[in-house]
A and B are shown apart, each in its own frame.
Chain A
Amino acid sequence: MEQEKKYPSWQNYQKNIADDHYYYAHSCIRQTFFPGSEAALLNILRNELDKDVFDDPKHTSCNGIGYHSDIVPLQTIMTVVARQFALMTEAGYKNLLASCVTSFGVYNEMLHMWEHHPETLEKTRDYLWKATKREFNLPENVNHTSDVIYKFRKDIFSRAKYSLVHKNNEQPLRIAEHVGCHYAKIFPEKGVGGAEFPRVLTDMIECWGGEVVDYPERRHCCGFGFRQYIIRENRGYSVANTRKKMESLAPYKPDMILANCPGCSMFMDKWQYTIGEMEGKTYGSDGRGIPVLTYEELAGLVLGYDPWDLGLQMHQVDAEPLLKKMGIEYSPAKKYLNAEGKYIGKPMVPHFCSL
């Protein structure tokens, strides 16, 4: 968020985002459902912005999904987090860059507990030493990947090939945003704009030419719920929450949805299919689904990257109507090719709805 001189109280909603030298931590969900976004992030930071990012093969999952579904004890995840910090320390980095909103929440939670209960930090150091013979320093700066795209949004736009403007009428594209719960609801001071006024996505949208669509359930959870999705018979909870959001935002006729959490992005995409099959209902003003993009996918499109390099073919809701609105030149024929350029077949179409 830009420094606001006029109203000092806005200082509480600012966040220090490191400028360079990031230790990157992959996300289990993101690399599974949005691998193109992880690749685009590294490409944008390293090749467009000339930043140093270390991708360490030794780090593992933060174990956050297991923790929030209660099969991983607190001391266990604390020590797993400590191991990530030890690897970062050994590599000579101080700025942690988390690719996942769940991980971002977990890292901040452990740091908060260590600060307020210092005995838990000492205990964790002992456990880590016993288990791995490693030691660690605390990170100086913890960021989510959406923080750095937010920070460099103007640099990205200075290299833009396209903007978030409808090519036919020059009107800004209407974009509904969704910020993942664990980005700022647990520790508001760790997110850009806090939990009340999150600017992390809205400033990207406005900077790149789009218009932010407000809607009543903007801050409602996507419905992941950890155990409420993992267990099949609980998934009614998960789809009901996304349905609540879709019903709330659809009347405002957004051209797309932008989310900063890999789980939220995946659920808001996939549950549109499920709702379509269950109720025959779609939410887009064109009778189709509403495309849900990650912030790197959107940044990548603005920069002129090939949509299929970004992984848009992995979305259940087809993003091609959005590409056409933006006037993006792309090849539909390349959508289902592998790395060698060979056609690998295409998905079946849904039974009851056109997405």
Chain B
Amino acid sequence: MDYFELLEKDIRFTDGLKSCMSCGVCTAICPAAEFNDYEPRKMMIRVQKRNEEDLVDLLKSDTIWNCGQCMSCKTRCPRENTPGMVIQSLRKVSQETGLFIHSKKGMQQLAIKRSIGANIRELGFCVHPDRILPETHPEQGPVWEWIYENRKDVYERLGTNIYREGSGALRKIDEESLQELRNIYAETGGDTLFQLIEYYTSE
């Protein structure tokens, strides 16, 4: 398999890596580099070298899953590269080829697919109060616990349209709109990626 060919099909890769001179500004500004064993500068060098064997190692590694997608690197790069976009393309190829299952952090994609992915398909939203359980979100604190336990009262008090169809915040998305969203996923590869994440992680 030609992994570079797969990468080059993604315009985030070709737009994100024009020519890196390895100045390290991206690493200097990167929040992920500050708290993790991760340097966008090193990642860009490895990809720019075009060594297929090393690319496979990178696609199997935790390295590509450390970026927080803040895109601070885009603003700062003097060559108009965007390491954060190169990361997106590496993650895409890693998932499509199944190499992500060699990484503990890569395997976390299954949990994201089953939480955020399920929210999108079932509710039409990435996030919804019903899905932020206090027991899995202790960091949200006691006020969130109070909101969660009294959510119908709290959200109605604040003028939302929670659980009802029509306009307004937290409205229930109508079935026709949800079906259009699902059709988009079926047509554009969204469903395929979900299936691949399930398939490879079940191996």
B169 to chain A, nearest CB (A): 4
- A65-B145 in contact given A70-B88, A83-B180 (Cβ < 8 Å): no
Residues on A with beta carbons closer than 8 Å to the beta carbon of B197: 71
- Stretch of A9-17, A201-209, A270-278, A323-331 at the chain-chain interface: A270-278
Residues on A with beta carbons closer than 8 Å to the beta carbon of B125: 28, 60-61
A192 to chain B, nearest CB (A): 15
Q: Are A338 and B128 in contact (CB under 8 A)?
A: no
Q: Which residues from 187 to 229 on chain A have a C-beta closer than 8 Å to any C-beta of chain B?
A: 188, 195, 219-221, 223-228
Residues on A with beta carbons closer than 8 Å to the beta carbon of B144: 270, 316
Q: CA of A236 to CA of B32 in the docked complex: distance in angstroms?
A: 11
Q: Are B190 and A270 in contact (CB under 8 A)?
A: no
Q: Is A120 an interface residue (CB 8 A)?
A: yes
User: What range describes how many residues of B lie at the interface?
Assistant: 35 or more
- Stretch of A148-156, A167-175, A341-349 at the chain-chain interface: A341-349
The winner among B111, B146, B178 for most chain A CB atoms within 10 A is B146
Task: Count residues of chain A with CB under 8 A from any CB of chain B.
Answer: 95
Which residue of B is nearest A274, CB measured?
B139
Q: Is A232 an interface residue (CB 8 A)?
A: yes
Q: Are B70 and A185 in contact (CB under 8 A)?
A: yes
Q: CA of A316 to CA of B72 in the docked complex: distance in angstroms?
A: 28
Residues on A with beta carbons closer than 8 Å to the beta carbon of B23: none
Q: Are A221 and B187 in contact (CB under 8 A)?
A: no
Q: Digit string of B170-198 for contact with A (CB within 8 Å is 1, else 0)?
A: 11011011101101111111100110010
Q: Are B184 and A80 in contact (CB under 8 A)?
A: yes
Q: Which of B112, B120, B142, B169 contacts A63 (CB 8 A)?
A: B120
Residues on B with beta carbons closer than 8 Å to the beta carbon of A64: 126
Q: Which of B109, B146, B158, B188 contacts A127 (CB 8 A)?
A: B188
Q: CA of A74 to CA of B32 in the docked complex: distance in angstroms?
A: 23
Q: Are B194 and A71 in contact (CB under 8 A)?
A: yes
Residues on B with beta carbons closer than 8 Å to the beta carbon of A234: 105, 108
- A76-B141 in contact given A63-B126, A227-B112 (Cβ < 8 Å): no
Q: Digit string of B99-127 for contact with A (CB within 8 Å is 1, else 0)?
A: 00000010011011101110010001111
Q: Is A26 an interface residue (CB 8 A)?
A: yes
Q: Are A230 and B184 in contact (CB under 8 A)?
A: no
- A127-B184 in contact given A237-B36, A316-B144, A345-B146 (Cβ < 8 Å): yes
A200 to chain B, nearest CB (A): 16
A161 to chain B, nearest CB (A): 20
Residues on A with beta carbons closer than 8 Å to the beta carbon of B185: 76
Q: Which of B126, B173, B177, B183 contacts A66 (CB 8 A)?
A: B126
Residues on A with beta carbons closer than 8 Å to the beta carbon of B154: 313-314, 338, 344
- A230-B115 in contact given A35-B160, A60-B177, A316-B141 (Cβ < 8 Å): yes
Q: Is A58 an interface residue (CB 8 A)?
A: yes
The winner among B36, B111, B157, B186 for most chain A CB atoms within 10 A is B157
Q: Is B57 an interface residue (CB 8 A)?
A: no
Residues on A with beta carbons closer than 8 Å to the beta carbon of B69: 68-69, 225-226
Residues on A with beta carbons closer than 8 Å to the beta carbon of B10: 74
Which residue of B is nearest A56, CB measured?
B167
Residues on B with beta carbons closer than 8 Å to the beta carbon of A113: 11, 15
Could you give 18 example pairs across A and B, Cβ below 8 Å?
A32-B129, A39-B169, A69-B116, A70-B95, A72-B190, A72-B193, A127-B184, A221-B68, A225-B31, A226-B68, A227-B65, A230-B116, A231-B112, A237-B31, A241-B34, A241-B68, A344-B154, A350-B142
A28-B125, A75-B188, A76-B189 provided; 10 other pairs, C-beta below 8 A?
A32-B128, A57-B166, A60-B177, A60-B178, A61-B125, A186-B71, A271-B139, A274-B139, A348-B146, A350-B142
Chain A: residues with CB nearer than 8 A to chain B? 26, 28-32, 35-36, 38-39, 55-61, 63-66, 68-76, 78-80, 83, 105, 113, 116-117, 120, 127-128, 130-132, 134, 181-182, 184-186, 188, 195, 219-221, 223-228, 230-237, 239-241, 244, 270-271, 273-274, 308-309, 311, 313-316, 337-339, 342, 344-350
